[in-house]
A and B are shown apart, each in its own frame.
Chain A
Amino acid sequence: MKRFAASELFHSFRHNRSAMIGAAIVAMFVVMVSIGPWLVAQDPYDVAQLELMDSFKPPVWLEGGVPQYLLGTDGQGRDVLASIVYGSRISLFIGFTAMLGSCVLGAALGLLAGFYGGKLDSVIMRIADIQLSFPSVLTALFLMSAFGTGADKVLIALISVGWVVYARIVRGSTLRESQKEYVQAARVSGLPNRKIILRHVLPNVLTPLIVVATIQVGTFILIEASLSFLGVGVPITEPSLGLLIKNGFDVLFSGLWWISVFPGLFIMLIVFGINLLGDFLRDELNPRLK
């Protein structure tokens, strides 16, 4: 920890205001999803706790608002604030898990392609090219309509969309690293390929991944929101942020704005924070930008 505090990275972080803001937002988000459920009065996913007669209540500062529901309620009597807290858990879980999944899958395929080259390389990279030529939401939408809906299906869809970026980056770096003397030396000394890849190549191709991974969490949160908005994401009784926006959108023209506006603002804030942090990491970790 001390070493980190004294490091160059931490130093420039301290002097970069946008990075500080980004980190603060992300920290707030993490705190909220970890302890938030104990702070809100209602579990919006337990239908027995919903009071239908309390639906469409406006936020507390508007006429008709009640203190019990700070940001108002939706059409089922679900507290918007509580829904945001619970919905963010789903969004963060999906965004983070999908990022890890696609990172591991993409990095593994990229390492294999870059290190061994040849036919394996061509096959993997052609699949990646085909994948890249489809818009990611479209691919996910297609997969979801084939497999059905639910958080686990969203994960599968996101991972099968997300691995490509990692695979391409890792393959590029692996190709470069494999030419370098230390890898040649390792080869000459008779180390098995598996060890060369894991011990020597992998650590040297990791840095650019961190940048992409950070920004991708934000992207995935957005894609999940789009999928839910299109009605193929999470179940309707357990709304994520995207589904909350969709539910609110149906009544937006009727003046019931709070149901979609607050979750919308919240997604914006989260993705903004994550992107600020990602930008900072990109600037810091990319030697060419130094």
Chain B
Amino acid sequence: MMKNGLAGLTRRNLFALALMSGVALSGAAHAQGKSLTIALTADAVILDPHAANELTGNIMFYHFYDPLVSRTPELGFEPGLAESWQIVDDTTWVFKLRKGVKFHNGDELKASDVVYTFERLKKALMSNLVANIASSRAIDDYTVEIKTPKPYAVLHMALAEVLIVNEKYTKAMGDEQMGLKPMGTGPYKLAEWVKEDRLSMTAHADYWRGKPKIDTVTFKPITNPATRTAALLTGGVDVIQDLSVRDVASVKANAAYDVVTRPSLLNMVIAIDTREKSPTIDLPTNPMRDRRVREALVRAINVEAIKTVVMNGFATPSEQYVPSSHLGYVPGLDFRKLYPFDVEKAKALMKEAGFEKGFAMTLDTTNNRYVNDGAIAQALAGMLARINVKLNLNLMPRSNFFGYIRVPSDKSSFIMSGWDTPSGDAGNMYSTLMYSRGKKPGFGQANRGSFANDEFDSWIDKADATADIKQRDAFLKEATQVAAREIPMIPLHYEQDIYAAKKNVKVVPRMDKFIWAYEMDVN
């Protein structure tokens, strides 16, 4: 509208302008609203929490919606929309809802909304979130009973990822509108979403945890790390996600800003194709079916060098597939000690396996999704060239990448991506990424290398069949041992989350990397 210039204003436009300034004025009168602008690395694809599961979208979802069980910044679990729950028998859980929880439109949260959410999810893109819910019913307005198909010890942890929608509103809006106009019980309401430019939200005054401290929150997607730093330094934004590792020193030195770092859960992993014939390897059989070749690949990669040079020190080499806080982590087991960086040994293994002359293949990864992903890929190419494995790089923007590598991964041999398991449980990652494909519905759906190992699968089956957390942990540890021996994937490092913010902003970094404005404050 401004493009027309003032001269071009029609009477109707003038009226709208007057109306808008009226709204702005009343907004200003309303308690000197605190506001906060946060630069993220990307924009959400869709705002329907049941239709997507990637970091940027998730960050936004948790502002609009709440789960039954909430995850704390330190990955603990506390009551959310459910004030308590109990396990009635092996496969039955009962959740008591909080009373008086208000949706943005004023409706009160009822048990029927929860039941409806599970039903909707079953048919939605993210149906894996409710794979462990057989049925649910409302006992009364504030009590929900959930049945699991078999004993499932971590149902409450899994429910932390299920965001509750309003039955009436969702049915009235339809799926397409739900992707654009989110409406939940969360601390913020959507004010405006201009795709790839900004998403602004206003505080939900009746929020059940109490009114948010910050009144207006705006997210801006800024992909380029240098531009993001510049946006902070020029005052355009208050907080940035993923400060470039190269900029940490200079921003830290500036007294007007704080840099907050914390180890993240995002494990960079490389999926190794183990099929008979691999799409990008021009050999009759896939050399990587040989465990020795997989071990040689691990040994040829200098994770320390990637950490110091490419990541400027801001990474933690991964010992295993999941961090030590998780069920299934084996204390003392470390890929770096099991298969230390050793080019000579790697060459010997390649020779032993009959591939002294090496082979060529393509590495598929992103160039704008993970911290320095393109640079890591180039470094990998250099390292593997020393054992005669020629790595052609296929770097894609994240918008193409995830479609390109989608299982059955029929174009890929070697895929680098990040994986985080905020549920605090290795079983989640193992059953999605490493469980044999096509054996059981809902399992192995992201098994990009087609790894198939019956022993591994059996430990997962056992873990999924027990209601006892200790036992589950023990079974998952066995699975971890098998995976460390068979090397279905190469774990590289955990990223470090680096935020930079103006001094007057209190940033609470979360282990799951979800930025949540409700926990922040501005002075």
Contacts and interface: CB of A to CB of B under 8 A. Distances in A.
| Interface size classification for chain B | 20 to 34
Contacts of A253: 226, 229-230, 244, 246-247, 250
A76 B246 contact: no
A133 to B, nearest CB: 21
Interface stretch (B27-35, B130-138, B375-383, B498-506): B375-383
Contacts of A254: 244, 246-247, 249-250
Interface-centre pick from A46, A50, A52 (highest chain B CB count, 10 A): A52
B382 A250 contact: no
Contacts of B382: 47-48, 50, 52, 76-77
Interface stretch (B49-57, B59-67, B302-310, B473-481): B302-310
Given A50-B382, A254-B246, A235 B393 contact: yes
A110 to B, nearest CB: 38
A255 interface: yes
Given A76-B382, A253-B229, A52 B247 contact: no
B229 A75 contact: no
Interface in A43-77: 46-48, 50, 52-53, 55-56, 75-77
B244 A250 contact: yes
A249 B230 CA distance: 12
Contacts of A48: 382, 385-386
B374 A236 contact: yes
A237 B305 contact: no
A76 B375 contact: yes
Contacts of A53: 305, 309
A216 B517 CA distance: 53
Nearest to A48: B385
Interface-centre pick from A48, A236, A253 (highest chain B CB count, 10 A): A253
Contacts of B105: none
B101 interface: no
Interface in B205-260: 224-226, 229-230, 244, 246-247, 249-250
Given A47-B378, A249-B226, A237 B393 contact: yes
Contacts of B244: 250-251, 253-254
Nearest to B367: A231
A32 interface: no
B482 interface: no
B395 interface: yes
A52 B377 CA distance: 12
A211 B381 CA distance: 44
Given A75-B375, A236-B393, A253-B229, A55 B309 contact: yes
B317 to A, nearest CB: 15
B447 to A, nearest CB: 28
Contact of B226 (A55, A75, A231, A252): A252
Contacts of B395: 236
Contacts of B386: 48
B246 A256 contact: yes
Contacts of B391: 47
Contacts of B247: 253-254
A47 B378 CA distance: 8
B451 to A, nearest CB: 27
B52 to A, nearest CB: 24
Interface string A249-271: 11111111000000000000000
Contacts of B309: 52-53, 55-56, 75
B45 to A, nearest CB: 19
Nearest to A256: B246
B302 A52 contact: yes
Interface string A213-252: 0000000000000000001000111000000000001111
B263 to A, nearest CB: 22
B305 A250 contact: no
Given A48-B386, A75-B310, A236-B393, A251 B378 contact: no
Interface in B334-387: 367, 374-375, 377-379, 381-383, 385-386
A56 B249 CA distance: 15
A199 to B, nearest CB: 49
A79 to B, nearest CB: 14
A290 B385 CA distance: 60
Contacts of B383: 52
A253 B248 CA distance: 11
B379 A76 contact: yes
A251 B378 CA distance: 16
A200 B386 CA distance: 60
Contacts of A255: 250
A53 B247 CA distance: 19
Contacts of A231: 367, 397
Given A52-B379, A236-B378, A251 B302 contact: no
Interface string B23-45: 00000000000000000000000
B224 A47 contact: no
Contacts of A256: 246
Contacts of A55: 309-310
B453 to A, nearest CB: 32
Contacts of B374: 236
A281 to B, nearest CB: 40
Given A48-B386, A52-B302, A250 B224 contact: yes
Contacts of B306: 52
Contacts of B246: 250-251, 253-254, 256
A75 B385 CA distance: 18
A68 B40 CA distance: 40
Closest 4 CB pairs of A and B: A48-B385, A254-B246, A47-B382, A47-B381
Interface of A: 46-48, 50, 52-53, 55-56, 75-77, 231, 235-237, 249-256
17 contacts: A47-B382, A48-B386, A52-B305, A52-B309, A52-B379, A75-B375, A76-B375, A76-B382, A231-B397, A236-B367, A236-B374, A236-B378, A237-B378, A237-B381, A253-B230, A253-B244, A255-B250
Given A47-B378, A231-B397, A251-B226, 4 more contacts: A48-B382, A53-B309, A75-B310, A237-B378
